[in-house]
Amino acid sequence: MTERAERPREEKIRCDACPVMCYIAEGRAGACDRYANQGGRIVRCDPLTVLDRRIAKGDEIRPFLKAEWDGALLKDDDLFVTAVGAGTTYPDYKPAPFIVSRAVDGADFVTVVTEAIFSYCGVKVKIDTDRHLGHEGAVIRAGGEVVGLMITSEYGSQMMSLGGVDHLTGGSKPEGRVTCDTLMRLCNREAVELEVEGGATVVVQAGQPPIVDGHREERMRVGCGSATIGMFASQWQGLVDEVVVVDDHITGVVSEHQAGKVLGWPDTGIKINGRRSTPGRYFQVADPGLGWGGTDITDPLTILGVWNPKKGARPGLSLLMVSTTGEQYGYYVLDAELVPQPQPLPETLKPSVDLIAENCEPALCTVMFMGGAGGSLRSGVTKNPVRLTRSVQADRTRVTVGGAPAYVWPGGGITIMADVTRMPDNAFGYVPTPAIVAPLEFTLSRAEYRALGGHDDRARAVEDILEHGGDYGADVRAVPPGDKAG
């Protein structure tokens, strides 16, 4: 009987870049596609990204590759080493992958860069549209899984809150995976389709117009109905007898509005079916929807009651009704029974409707990454993490995300928010725990860094980083390279 030769056992090494702790074979990548086994070492697959600020029109993105640097001396303050491609500090007892020493305007500064693993993170999405996406608190789904909810509407925009630890880790495994994928794609400026429970389906992509139920939005409203009256009342005076600007929130009526009164606008006897707030300002004229001014109406005459001849209504009285974006408008004249009859829009009124449209800004989606930098992450910066928190809150340490400025929330901890459109492409990744991996940089003076108890002995000059780079985990590992998989 012939003995069958044993198949050679594929040697693997263990990656400690995240809690998953993958065993990775030579030439293969881990589950996150961010780390690989190259010659028995765990290396970061993507190159370190450097921003070159010598470009007059903004930052040029230069991924680090030694062959691309010509060796020319560079001013330190021209270059900013981001955390994109840097690697992580996990399991957090070790210094950040790159601690960059550089001169800025003649002063000695340190930038500490690391790719942070965020379980406590999400995105806030601002969608410029008057169209009703869903009621406040409505559940939002991606791929059938709950990933967030609608929050408060703001002026001309509707807001979503997506992600967070409860969706990433507090629900089912499919919910966590879909939430993580949705966040990563949104942060990397990809298009994502979201379904609002009881509302609309909207395609969201950072820096692009929203697509609501298949309709691509073009304009953000110029203002509410009342604000539109205030801005353009003088444009209509002498050209039309009455103007109504239809809006889901505050519908405006020029003859009653204070702007009209200041101009001496006569009463017209108009009646609005809504809750009168103050003169010329009406709430709840219709339900929210995809129609005129974010309402559910397609015929604006449905918000009008019976005209009152004792207060100025008369046959021949002209009426302009227009939405807050100028996309919808109608011109009417009262007949003998004081019923508005549609008529072609006079040429004299077209410029005023066009002016509303001209003053509308382009409708866009804004995606703000939001996360909290935990204590373990901060240990990659300093041996005493709370000192970093205090330095950040005191504005002695500047926080950026992939080179983009971050807003730091007041209060405890380091809770940040940053615009993803200001970051390099594909700046965000993930680990299958699931969690989002985001670039994070702390920049502070060398003196402040030493006062924090920072890892000052690990600081390297920009030129050294450009020439030699650095790969993750070559000398400090949770599992030694010689420890083979079982």
Q: What is the pLDDT of residue 43?
A: 80
Average pLDDT over residues 91-108: 82
The rounded percent of the chain whose pLDDT value lies above 90 is: 64
The DSSP call for residue 350 is H
What is the per-residue pLDDT for 56? Answer: 42
> Residues 6 or more apart from 34 whose CB is under 8 A from it?
17, 44, 45, 46, 429, 437
279-298 pLDDT, tens digit per residue, is 999 999 999 998 999 999 99
Q: Lowest mean pLDDT: which of 55-59, 127-131, 143-147, 306-310?
A: 55-59
Tens digits of residue pLDDT in 466-478: 777 765 533 322 2
DSSP-based three-state secondary structure for 308? coil
Per-residue pLDDT averaged across 15-42, rounded? Answer: 84
pLDDT at 66 over 70: no
d(CA 406, CA 419): 8
**Which of 2-16, 17-31, 310-324, 448-462 bottoms out in mean pLDDT, i.e. has the lowest?**
2-16
The model's pLDDT over 423-434, given as tens digits with 9 standing for 90+, comes to: 999 999 999 889
**CA pair distance 446, 344, nearest whole angstrom:** 71
CA angle, 110 as apex, 18 and 41 as ends, to 5°? 35
Domain ranges (residues) in the chain:
49-117+374-406+437-468, 121-219, 225-358
98-23-471 Cα angle (round to 5)? 20
Q: How far apart are the first and last CA of the chain?
A: 30
Residues in a beta bridge with 410: none
Q: How confident is the model at residue 59 (pLDDT cuts 50, 70, 90)?
A: low
Q: What is the structure's pLDDT at 74? A: 44
pLDDT at 244: 98
Binning pLDDT at 50, 70 and 90, where does residue 486 land?
Answer: very low
CA 378 – CA 372 distance, rounded (Å): 11
| pLDDT digits 0-9 by tens, 32-50 | 888 888 888 888 877 778 8
For the chain, the average pLDDT equals 87
Which residues have a Cβ under 8 Å from the Cβ of 74 and sit 6 or more positions away? 462, 463, 466
10 vs 319 pLDDT, higher one: 319
- Rounded to an integer, what distance in angstroms lies between the CA atom of residue 446 and that of residue 397? 11
How much of the chain is helix, strand and coil, in % rounded to 5? 20, 35, 45
Q: What residues have CB less than 8 Å from 297, skipping those under 6 apart?
A: 246, 286, 289, 291, 303
> From the CA atom positions of the chain, what is the Rg in Å?
30
Q: What is the tens place of the pLDDT at every residue in 159-185? A: 999 999 999 999 999 999 999 999 999
Q: Per mean pLDDT, which range of 5-9, 126-130, 391-395, 461-465 is the poorest?
A: 5-9
Q: What is the pTM of this model?
A: 0.85
Count other C-beta atoms under 10 Å from residue 194's C-beta: 24
Residue 70 has pLDDT above 80, yes or no: no
Give the tens place of pLDDT for each residue, 360-392: 999 999 999 999 987 667 888 998 889 999 999
